[in-house]
């Protein structure tokens, strides 16, 4: 995964270099063509740092050093994406036209996803059991998606009016976004630490994983009960934006619940509660849409 994510980041860097234009983040900053090219070059270099250790010759040259360089590259990619998410604004591209804030945030969030996925999998040690390893892989990827939705909501923060349902300020979306990132981080910790510690600590992790998954799913269900058009900072969003915002955690919650339950492979209350809550969260999705 780190190699694939690095290759995708490098491709994005090349695209920025080739398509470099003057870019204005409305009311925030202006980047001329040279700055955009430098940013593209930086992304290309960071992506290649993640990708090149795939070659055995480089691994033999200094495996530990290359791993540290990869971690540094992933952290830098995440930092760049968070910086632009913090400055999220509509974009005007010379010769292209204007791009709404929503699309600018989505474009930056996918860079965050590439960076966080690479970073998380650099620390992942696959289970000996091949089936468990695949379940862990799916669960960790789902955790990264939860964090990515969190940064999307954070990037879109503004004065929110869900027509006839809810009105809130930027602080509301900021809190929800940070909460989803935190929940995703906890899920990653649960997957990566399950094979460490005492029996009691592992059991506590199992219960924590179930609880966090239920919270993620519940947040998605809450959003699904509100599905309608909305206005954000004076811009009208069709209903499918809120539908997507609810379906992502609404589906990832039970997926995480199921994968953690199966990976733990523990007969007893944890297994029973995990399976029951997984089924319950899935059944609740159509019900929430009908409310």
The per-residue pLDDT for range 20-31, each reduced to its tens digit, is: 888 888 888 888
3-class secondary-structure state, position 56:
helix
Q: How far is it, in rounded angstroms, from Cα 214 to Cα 108? A: 28
Residue 67: HSE in the Cβ half-sphere, 13 Å Cα cutoff = 10
Tally of CB atoms within 10 A around 169:
11
Specify the pLDDT at position 255. 92
pLDDT > 70 in the chain, percent: 92
Q: What is the DSSP letter of 92?
A: E
The beta strand positions in 32-96, using DSSP E, are: 91-93
Query: pTM of this prediction?
Result: 0.88
Asked if 7 and 47 count as a contact pair (C-beta separation under 8 A), the reply is yes
Q: Is the pLDDT of residue 53 over 70?
A: no
Closest among 135, 132, 138 to 117, alpha carbons compared: 138
Give per-residue pLDDT as tens, 89-143: 888 888 788 888 888 899 899 999 999 998 998 888 777 777 878 888 888 999 9
31 strand-pairing partners: 23
Q: Is the pLDDT of residue 169 over 90?
A: no
- For 232-279, give the DSSP string: ETTEEE-HHHHHHHHHHHHHHHHHHHHHHHHHHT-TTHHHHHHHHHHH
- Our measurement of the distance from residue 10's CA atom to the centroid of its chain's CA atoms, rounded to an integer in Å, reads 19
């Amino acid at each position: 995964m780190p190699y694939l994510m690095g290759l995708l980041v490098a491709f994005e860097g090349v695209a920025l270099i080739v398509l470099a234009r003057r870019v204005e983040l409305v009311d925030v900053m202006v980047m001329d063509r040279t700055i955009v090219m430098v940013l593209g070059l930086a992304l290309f270099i960071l992506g290649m740092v993640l990708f090149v250790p795939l070659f055995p010759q480089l691994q033999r040259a200094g495996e530990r050093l290359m791993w540290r360089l990869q971690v540094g590259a992933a952290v830098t990619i995440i930092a760049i994406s968070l910086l632009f998410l913090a400055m999220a604004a509509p974009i005007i591209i010379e010769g292209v036209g204007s791009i709404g804030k929503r699309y600018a945030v989505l474009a930056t969030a996918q860079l965050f996803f590439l960076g966080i996925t690479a970073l998380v999998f650099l620390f992942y040690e696959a289970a000996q059991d091949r089936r468990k390893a695949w379940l862990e892989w799916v669960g960790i990827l789902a955790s990264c998606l939860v964090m990515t939705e969190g940064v999307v909501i954070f990037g879109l923060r503004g004065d929110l009016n869900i027509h006839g349902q809810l009105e809130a300020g930027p602080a509301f979306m900021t809190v929800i976004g940070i909460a989803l990132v935190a929940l995703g981080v906890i899920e990653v910790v649960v997957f990566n630490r399950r094979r460490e510690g005492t029996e009691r600590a592992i059991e506590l992790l199992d219960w924590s994983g179930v609880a966090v998954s239920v919270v993620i799913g519940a947040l998605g269900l809450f959003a699904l009960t509100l599905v309608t058009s909305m206005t954000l900072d004076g811009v009208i969003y069709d209903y499918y934006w809120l539908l997507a915002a609810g379906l992502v955690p609404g589906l990832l919650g039970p997926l995480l619940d199921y994968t953690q339950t199966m990976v733990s492979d523990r007969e007893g209350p944890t297994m029973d509660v995990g399976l029951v809550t997984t089924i319950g969260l899935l059944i609740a999705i159509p019900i929430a849409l009908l409310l």
